[in-house]
Amino acid sequence: MLRVDNINVYYGQIHALKDISLEVQEHEIVALIGANGAGKSTTLRTISGLLRSKTGSISFLNEDISRTEAYKLVSKGMAHVPEGRRIFLQMTVLENLEMGAYVNSTNIKEDIADVFDRFPRLKHRRNQIAGTLSGGEQQMLAIGRALMSHPKLLMLDEPSMGLSPILVQQIFDIIKELHAAGTTILLVEQNAEMALQVADRAYVLESGRIKLTGTGSELAQSDEIKKAYLGG
Amino acid sequence: MEKIKNLNKFTRTNIRAYGLIILAFIVLFPLQSTGIISNSISGQLVPICTYIVMAISLNLTVGFLGELSLGHAGFMSVGAFTGVITAICLQEVIPSAALRLLIAIIAGGIAAGVAGFLIGIPVLRLRGDYLAIVTLAFGEIIKNIINCLYVGVDSNGLHMSMTNAEALGMINGKLIINGPQGAVGITKIASFTAGILLILFALFIILNLVNSKSGRAVTAIRDNRIAAESVGISVTRYKLTAFIISAVLAGMAGALYAMNFSTIAAKKFDFNTSILILVFVVLGGMGNIVGSIVATALLYILPELLREYADYRMLIYAIVLILVMLLTNSEKAKQMRERFVYKWKKRLRKNNDQQEGLKNG
């Protein structure tokens, strides 16, 4: 479904991604894990067109997207939930969801009802200004908004960031549910333990390179990973 | 149900905005035509109308798009001089003053729109303070270009030069723009009615845009650029659209403004004018169209009303500005106002209850 071939991304002089290649098959959950500054979010941003790679190619559904602008990818079926709960803080919950249907505005009402079924807490707060929601609710809203465009591939950037353990568990339950419903997911996480539990496959990034790759359970048992990311 | 509620909110703003302008016209037009209001105020009516259009168009950039533009007078200037050239060239061809004014205003709008497009492409790549500084620079560039522009018309058509009037090489021609002296020999064809119609047109454009899907996209970009892009909004396109619409309306206002005087110079549209318009917008409230209209009218007329206190005029003006800003924006003042309103409402309710009680008892 998604194929990234040998991309190299620079921030000015800094070589942030070095020959990254990865693949996401249909109906998979693929996780990118690694420490702070390893290049996880950079990879995601390059895929979604917010950053450009100097070399290599990115293809989505057998179409080259390495030069496609970010906003066009939404209608192609790719949804990016950016890091740090980027919601429209001054709009209401409902308006945020309506914005999510910007490129695909048929059946808005049903889609909103679906999102509310999945996230009942949002339903109670539908007329509340999004900026007044709690962190967990904002993350749910960001995911809900992405779902409004009926994505084939959902890319989540650090969905657990800054959330309490209970909320992290809830977010990961939702990821599993979405996967069960047929959505392909590319997940960027610092919380390697949780990510490896849900992921079919995972890539481990270290200073801009892919260091290891394998199935979720393989990596969870690898000594190297245990030492580096899972606390012994 | 939700839709109706939203719709009501929008229609309410619309009715308030259109109603205010139409009411002002109904009250002021007979007063002006019968000469009851003083000449000095009556002469300000067209400028007030143009500044209202300037303020609501700038509100689109500053309030809805969320980008601070300090060069709005530049677009006004482009519109003003294009309008003047158009009107003078058409003087013989089109005898109807109203039609000539309309064509001049449209020409001014188009020219300013082109300028907005050319300036918008580089400027909108920047954000925040940097964008503000660059728009300021463009405003000054426009002013300086027009300052050394000579335009004339004769039987061979339009002549243009950047050196002096002689370089135009006209035979029995008519000089339209004479460098630093600006445009000369304008026939005053602007009228209060035209001003009101232009405001209504600007309101129609802006209110419809703001309440449309595109308007939502514009406010979404202001709220969060990355989130806007992640839901599929083309940030560049909508930013540029809003910026150009704002420039077109400013150009139209400029054309009307110029047509209210017999001469007009480029230095009228300098940085101070841009700031003045920004003051109207900020004072009226960012993103608040009705606020922009009221603030412009009041602040424009205030120095006129204070003319008798000539020495203290600008001092009072400045103090009023500071007080209004404090009273509308300081947290303490807001709380005080809310408490006051609450108490007042409670007392009102009590009185009502008592009266009800008396009736029933």
Quote the number of domains for chain A: 2
**Shared domain check, A188 and A202:** yes
Q: Which residues of B touch A108 (CB under 8 A)?
A: none
* Residues 59-118, chain A, touching B (beta carbon < 8 A): 69-75, 79-82, 86-91, 94-95, 98-100, 102-103
Of the candidates B223, B228, B226, B234, the residue with the CA atom closest to the CA atom of residue A82: B226
Give yes or no for a contact between A66 and A58, defined as CB atoms under 8 angstroms apart. yes
Q: Write the DSSP assignment of A29-61 as a string of letters.
A: EEEEEESTTSSHHHHHHHHTTSS--SSSEEEET
Distance between B281 CA and the closest CA of chain A, angstroms: 20
Give the H/E segment covering residue A193. helix A192-198
Q: What pLDDT, on a 0 to 100 scale, did the predictor assign at position A18?
A: 92
Are A99 and B229 within 8 A, CB to CB? no
Residues contacting residue B355 through CB under 8 Å, at least 6 positions apart: none
pLDDT digits (tens, 9 = 90+) for B281-340: 998 888 889 999 999 998 888 877 777 777 777 788 888 888 877 877 778 877 888 888
- Please check the confidence at residue B6 and state whether its pLDDT lies above 60: no
Q: What pLDDT, on a 0 to 100 scale, did the predictor assign at position A230?
A: 66
Q: Which residues of A touch B220 (CB under 8 A)?
A: 88, 91, 99
| Gap between the Cα atoms of B205 and A163, Å rounded | 44
Residue B361 pLDDT level (bands cut at 50, 70, 90)? low
Q: What pLDDT, on a 0 to 100 scale, did the predictor assign at position A232?
A: 53
**Shared domain check, A58 and A2:** yes
**Shared domain check, A112 and A65:** no
Q: What pLDDT, on a 0 to 100 scale, did the predictor assign at position B43?
A: 82
Of the candidates A130, A139, A131, the residue with the CA atom closest to the CA atom of residue A83: A139
| Gap between the Cα atoms of A98 and B216, Å rounded | 10
**Shared domain check, A157 and A146:** no
The alpha carbon of B291 is separated from its chain's Cα centroid by a whole number of angstroms, namely 12
First to last CA, chain B: 40
| Gap between the Cα atoms of A110 and A88, Å rounded | 21
Are B224 and A50 within 8 A, CB to CB? no
Of A111, A126, A150, the one marking the end of a domain is A150
Location of structure tokens 């009250």:
B27
First to last CA, chain A: 35
Give yes or no for a contact between B46 and B190, defined as CB atoms under 8 angstroms apart. yes
Q: What pLDDT, on a 0 to 100 scale, did the predictor assign at position A201?
A: 93
3-class secondary structure, B170: coil
A-B CB pairs within 8 A amount to 66
β A153-157/A78-81 pair status: parallel
**Shared domain check, A138 and A24:** no
| Gap between the Cα atoms of B41 and B38, Å rounded | 6
| Gap between the Cα atoms of B204 and B191, Å rounded | 20
Both tokens of residue B253? 């206002």
Q: What pLDDT, on a 0 to 100 scale, did the predictor assign at position B269?
A: 93
3-class secondary structure, B286: coil
- Residue B236's closest chain A neighbor by CA? A71
Of A150, A166, A191, the one marking the end of a domain is A150
- Sign, Cα dihedral of B327, B272, B113, B91: positive
Of A150, A165, A199, the one marking the end of a domain is A150
- Residue A72's closest chain B neighbor by CA? B232
Long-range contacts of B154-161, Cβ-Cβ distance < 8 Å, separation of 24 or more: B158/B85, B158/B89
Residue B9 pLDDT level (bands cut at 50, 70, 90)? low
Are A149 and B224 within 8 A, CB to CB? no
- Which stretches within chain B are classed as H helix? 2-34, 39-42, 45-59, 72-89, 97-123, 128-147, 192-210, 213-223, 225-230, 235-258, 271-284, 289-305, 313-329, 331-360
Give yes or no for a contact between A72 and B204, defined as CB atoms under 8 angstroms apart. no
3-class secondary structure, A10: strand
Give yes or no for a contact between A116 and A123, defined as CB atoms under 8 angstroms apart. yes
- Please check the confidence at residue B198 and state whether its pLDDT lies above 90: yes
Both tokens of residue A63? 């179409």
Nearest to A82 among B223, B226, B232 (CB): B226
Q: Amino acid letter at B262?
A: S
Domain of residue A131, residue span: 85-150
* Ordered structural domains, chain B, with CATH: 47-293 (1.10.3470)
Both tokens of residue A33? 């894990």
- Please check the confidence at residue B4 and state whether its pLDDT lies above 60: no
Give the H/E segment covering residue A17. strand A14-24
**Shared domain check, A230 and A157:** yes
- Please check the confidence at residue B218 and state whether its pLDDT lies above 90: yes
**Shared domain check, A192 and A119:** no
- Residue A101's closest chain B neighbor by CA? B231
Location of structure tokens 């990961």:
A172
Both tokens of residue B226? 């990355």
Distance between A187 CA and the closest CA of chain B, angstroms: 16
**Shared domain check, A171 and A186:** yes
Q: Which residues of A touch B232 (CB under 8 A)?
A: 71-75, 102-103, 149
Ranges of chain A whose pLDDT falls below 50: none
Are A75 and B232 within 8 A, CB to CB? yes
| Gap between the Cα atoms of B184 and B263, Å rounded | 5
Probe site for chain A from B3, B212, B231 (most A CB atoms < 10 A)? B231
User: Which H, E and C letters describe A94-153, residue by residue?
Assistant: HHHHHHHCCCCCCCHHHHHHHHHHHCHHHHHCCCCEHHHCCHHHHHHHHHHHHHCCCCCE
**Shared domain check, A48 and A120:** no
Q: Which residues of A touch B229 (CB under 8 A)?
A: 50, 70-71
CATH number at residue A199: 3.40.50.300
**Shared domain check, A159 and A65:** yes
Are B230 and A74 within 8 A, CB to CB? yes
**Shared domain check, A96 and A208:** no
- Residue B6's closest chain A neighbor by CA? A95
**Shared domain check, A21 and A133:** no
Q: What pLDDT, on a 0 to 100 scale, did the predictor assign at position B253?
A: 97
pLDDT digits (tens, 9 = 90+) for B237-278: 999 999 999 999 999 999 999 999 989 999 999 999 999 999
Give percent of chain B with pLDDT exceeding 70.
96
Count of beta carbons in the 10 Å neighbourhood of residue B310: 8
Of the candidates A127, A132, A97, the residue with the CA atom closest to the CA atom of residue A111: A97
Q: What pLDDT, on a 0 to 100 scale, did the predictor assign at position B234?
A: 92
pLDDT digits (tens, 9 = 90+) for B20-74: 999 988 888 888 888 777 777 788 899 999 999 999 999 999 999 999 999 999 9
Q: What pLDDT, on a 0 to 100 scale, did the predictor assign at position A217?
A: 86
- Please check the confidence at residue B1 and state whether its pLDDT lies above 50: no
β A29-34/A201-206 pair status: parallel
Q: What pLDDT, on a 0 to 100 scale, did the predictor assign at position B5?
A: 52
- Please check the confidence at residue B7 and state whether its pLDDT lies above 70: no
Both tokens of residue A180? 């069960």
| Gap between the Cα atoms of A114 and A128, Å rounded | 19
